[in-house]
Every structure is written in structure tokens, then in C-alpha cells.
């Protein structure tokens, strides 16, 4: 079979935007992720109310600030001498008891922005003072080229800014079937197979294309995993679990759950959301352990900001600053990390942050993904939160 330039290029585009080929010129045997680890990121979109998530139930100021939506001390899940979890977080309480939950208190940054768009941009880029076009995880992936067709997956229709990178192999996924090979793919596979052993760029591109086709076929054959998941988050976690079990050597899986912008009637909505988060992530961690993936997967839960300590007149809370983030997994150092923000020393009615979010990112980069954090997030000392 003769391979002309037109047919060769046509075959290279057969997968469209689903999988992109690594750039020709990367040397064979380029660095790979240490230990094939996967960071699972869950964005609680809208600004999670941290004060009613990790609750200072002994502090009398809590009840003064939250006379209507405050959680009674008798309902709080008391995992610590001074702090407890929202009653809907039974799943987190179980993870805490098993040494699988790390709570990072007071997460924020100087001069916080209260716009959802801008605050999300800041957390996705790790750049509070400028607006870069690449994400913090995108920069991390660029720092470590790898000879594989797929690096990271975002579950959703749009690629989050956090995964914007110069490197290929970062894709979005809504359904496994979207990776089904298109019409004409068999011809493309045959064309690439014919020159896969050729020296030089043509052979290298052909080999990478064949790898991409194989990965696409593997993903298309996947089905969402079982495990007691429910709700929109459960649907995505079932997909994430299937991807992890599929041994695709992913470095990042990104998820998002919306609904946390609780300006009014917060109590019921927040209860349902936190129940979904706690129960699904407990089930997810249990399935990770059953699959023997505990040494390879770490889950990080974050938001773009917290809520103001004082409730508003609509039974809700307005945009705030610092909040608690969470790490879940065998490789998380369990317990409370960072100082809980003071309710007595507020900044114009808002929390003063105690833990710069870039220190958390630095820990995930250095201690989990094996990437030097300095060129990615700057000079921030990594938290000791990854085992």
C-alpha cells in the first residue's frame, strides 16, 4: 500500500480533537510520571461554605454569626477536640476514622477576589496577580514531557484552564463512546502500520498515532464502574474509577460539582451537596482500595473561595475568602493542617487566610506528582500533607 502525504496527514487527523499526537522530536524514552500516579481534582464550584463544612462548634462567635443556619453542636460530627464536620459528611467522618482524610484549613491568598470567574482563574492558574493562558497543572505537564498519547482528562465539555498546556494529550470526556474510532480509521491504522518501523519523523509519528488509536479503543470499551455512587458527582466518579481501572497512565483527572453559590436558603441545598460529596468520595476511596490503586491515586477537593462568616438576611451566605480544602487517600497525611481562621479577627467581615493555596499545590507537585514546584507555582514552601 502506497502512503502519500495527503493520506498520511488525513490519517493523523482521524481522531479529531479526542487524542492529540505528541510532537515529533521528543526523544524516545522521555521522562514518565513516577509510579504512574494520578491526581484526582474535584472543584466545588460556586464557593463552598467552609464555616459550615468544618465547624468550630465550641466557639461562641459561631452561633452569633450563624443564628439561623448554624449547625447545633449536638449534630456536628466531632472528629477533633475543637472542630467537627457538617452532619451530612458521614462519608468524611468514616474517611477520618480510617486515616484517609486530611483537612487543610484557612486556604486562600492575599487580596482575595470575590468574582467566581476571576477567583476560579486564580485557582486554576496559581497566578493571583496576572492572567496567564496556561494552567498550573498544564505547566506541570509541560515540565515533564512523556512519550504517551494521553496525559490528563477533564470530565466535562470544556477543558478547564488548570489543564491548558503546550503539551498534547489533554482531553475532555463526557461519554466513553466519544472515543469510538471514526469511519475510515481502519484505513488510517493500516497506513500508519505500513510505515511504523521507518526511521525518522515519519516512523515516529506513525508509532504515536497507532498508540493513540489503541488508547481510544480502550477508552471506548470502558463502562462507568459500580460502587454505590449517586447524583451528578457519582456519575462522574464512576467514570473516573473506570478510567483508573483501565490503567491508562493518566496524571490528572479533573471533575467539578456545581451548586455551592448558596446566597439564599442555604441549609437544605448545602446539606444535599455535602452529603453527595462525602458519601460518593468515601465510596470512591473504597473502590480505589479494592482495585489495588491506593498507592497511585490521591484526591484533592477545593473551591474557588469560601463564604462570609456571617449569614445574610436570605438564610444564605455571600462570597467569602478562606475555606478548608481536603486530601483523600492512603497517601494523604491524615488530620488537621493549618490554623483555623479566627472568628474574632475578621478582615472587613471576612476570614483572614492562614494557608496559601500555592503551598498545597507545591506539595501535590513535589510529593505526589514528582515535579519541581518552583517553576510552576513560585517560591512557596510545600505543606507536609502528602505521605
**120-130 tens-digit pLDDT:** 999 999 999 99
Residues 143 and 124: their CA atoms lie apart, in Å, by 17
pLDDT class for 117, splitting at 50, 70, 90?
Answer: very high
Judge whether residue 50 has pLDDT over 50: yes
pLDDT of residue 132: 86
Percent of the chain scored above 90 by pLDDT? 78
Residues 143 and 26: their CA atoms lie apart, in Å, by 13
DSSP-assigned beta bridge partners for residue 255: 42
pLDDT tens for each residue of 223-237: 999 889 999 999 999
- 15 and 182 Cβ atoms separated by less than 8 Å: yes
Judge whether residue 28 has pLDDT over 70: no
Q: Dihedral through CA 273, CA 342, CA 367, CA 295, nearest 10?
A: -40
Judge whether residue 7 has pLDDT over 50: no
Q: Dihedral through CA 223, CA 226, CA 232, CA 236, nearest 10?
A: -50
pLDDT of residue 181: 83
pLDDT tens for each residue of 56-94: 999 999 999 999 999 999 999 999 999 999 999 999 999
Domain ranges of the chain: 37-182+223-377
Judge whether residue 11 has pLDDT over 50: no
Judge whether residue 118 has pLDDT over 90: yes
Residues 165 and 43: their CA atoms lie apart, in Å, by 19
Which three cell numbers, joined as nine digits, stand for 1?
Answer: 500500500
Q: What 3-state class would DSSP assign to 262?
A: coil
Q: Taking Cα atoms as reference points, which of 297, 248, 261, 237 lies closest to residue 42?
A: 237
Q: Taking Cα atoms as reference points, which of 81, 29, 16 lies closest to residue 55?
A: 81
What is the pLDDT of the chain when averaged over all its residues? 90
pLDDT class for 27, splitting at 50, 70, 90?
Answer: very low
pLDDT of residue 365: 98
pLDDT class for 35, splitting at 50, 70, 90?
Answer: low
- 171 and 153 Cβ atoms separated by less than 8 Å: yes
DSSP-assigned beta bridge partners for residue 294: none
Q: Taking Cα atoms as reference points, which of 156, 151, 150, 149 lies closest to residue 173?
A: 156
Q: What 3-state class would DSSP assign to 296?
A: coil
pLDDT tens for each residue of 176-199: 999 988 777 777 787 788 877 788
Residues 3 and 9: their CA atoms lie apart, in Å, by 10
CA triple 169-172-112, angle to 5 deg: 100
Name which of 17-31, 99-113, 327-341 the model is least confident about.
17-31
Residues 236 and 228: their CA atoms lie apart, in Å, by 13
- pLDDT (average), residues 35-63: 96
pLDDT of residue 32: 35
pTM (predicted TM-score): 0.90
pLDDT of residue 98: 98
Judge whether residue 322 has pLDDT over 50: yes
Judge whether residue 205 has pLDDT over 80: no
Judge whether residue 214 has pLDDT over 80: yes
Secondary structure, 3-state, 44-105: ECCCCCHHHCEECCCCHHHHHHCCCCCCCCCCCECCCCCCEECCCCHHHHHHHHCCCEEEEE
Judge whether residue 380 has pLDDT over 90: yes
Which three cell numbers, joined as nine digits, stand for 184?
Answer: 475510515
Judge whether residue 289 has pLDDT over 90: yes
Residues 260 and 316: their CA atoms lie apart, in Å, by 11
pLDDT tens for each residue of 231-258: 999 999 999 999 999 999 999 999 999 9
For the domain made up of 37-182+223-377, the CATH class stated in words is alpha beta
Residues 287 and 228: their CA atoms lie apart, in Å, by 10
DSSP-assigned beta bridge partners for residue 299: 40, 328
pLDDT of residue 29: 34
- pLDDT (average), residues 274-283: 98
Q: How many helices (H) and strands (E) does the chain have?
A: 11, 11
pLDDT of residue 208: 80
Amino acid at each position: 500500500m502506497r502512503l502519500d502525504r495527503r493520506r498520511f496527514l488525513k490519517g493523523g487527523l482521524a481522531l479529531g480533537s479526542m487524542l492529540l499526537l505528541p510532537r515529533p522530536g521528543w526523544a524516545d524514552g522521555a521522562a514518565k510520571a513516577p509510579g504512574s500516579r494520578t491526581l484526582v481534582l474535584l472543584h466545588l464550584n460556586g464557593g463552598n461554605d467552609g464555616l459550615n463544612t468544618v465547624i468550630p462548634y465550641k466557639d461562641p462567635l459561631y452561633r452569633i454569626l450563624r443564628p439561623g443556619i448554624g449547625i447545633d453542636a449536638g449534630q456536628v460530627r466531632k472528629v477533633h477536640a475543637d472542630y467537627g464536620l457538617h452532619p451530612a459528611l458521614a462519608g468524611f467522618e468514616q474517611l477520618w476514622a480510617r486515616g484517609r482524610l486530611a483537612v487543610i484549613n484557612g486556604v486562600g491568598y492575599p487580596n482575595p477576589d470575590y468574582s467566581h470567574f476571576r477567583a476560579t482563574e486564580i485557582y486554576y492558574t496559581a497566578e493571583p496577580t496576572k492572567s496567564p493562558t496556561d494552567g498550573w497543572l498544564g505547566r506541570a505537564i509541560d515540565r515533564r514531557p512523556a512519550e504517551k498519547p494521553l496525559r490528563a482528562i477533564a470530565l466535562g465539555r470544556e477543558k478547564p484552564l488548570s489543564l491548558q498546556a503546550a503539551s498534547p494529550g489533554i482531553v475532555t470526556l463526557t461519554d466513553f463512546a466519544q472515543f469510538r474510532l471514526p469511519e475510515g480509521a481502519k484505513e488510517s491504522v493500516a497506513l500508519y502500520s505500513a510505515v511504523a518501523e521507518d526511521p525518522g519523523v515519519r516512523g515516529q509519528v506513525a508509532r504515536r498515532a497507532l498508540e493513540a488509536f489503541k488508547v481510544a479503543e480502550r477508552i471506548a470499551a470502558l463502562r462507568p464502574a459500580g460502587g454505590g455512587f449517586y447524583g451528578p458527582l457519582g456519575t462522574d466518579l464512576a467514570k473516573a474509577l473506570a478510567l483508573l481501572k483501565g490503567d491508562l497512565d493518566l496524571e490528572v483527572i479533573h471533575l467539578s460539582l456545581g451548586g455551592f453559590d448558596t446566597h439564599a436558603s442555604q441549609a437544605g441545598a448545602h446539606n444535599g451537596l455535602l452529603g453527595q460529596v462525602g458519601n460518593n468520595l468515601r465510596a470512591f476511596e473504597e473502590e480505589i482500595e479494592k482495585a489495588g490503586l491506593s498507592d497511585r491515586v490521591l484526591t484533592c477537593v477545593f473551591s474557588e473561595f469560601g463564604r462570609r462568616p456571617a449569614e445574610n438576611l436570605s438564610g444564605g451566605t455571600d462570597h467569602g475568602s478562606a475555606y478548608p480544602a481536603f486530601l483523600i487517600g492512603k497517601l494523604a497525611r491524615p488530620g488537621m493542617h493549618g490554623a483555623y481562621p479566627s472568628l474574632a479577627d475578621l478582615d472587613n467581615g471576612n476570614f483572614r487566610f492562614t494557608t496559601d493555596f500555592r503551598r498545597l499545590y507545591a506539595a501535590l507537585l513535589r510529593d505526589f506528582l514528582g515535579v519541581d514546584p518552583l517553576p510552576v507555582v513560585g517560591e512557596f514552601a510545600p505543606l507536609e500533607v502528602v505521605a
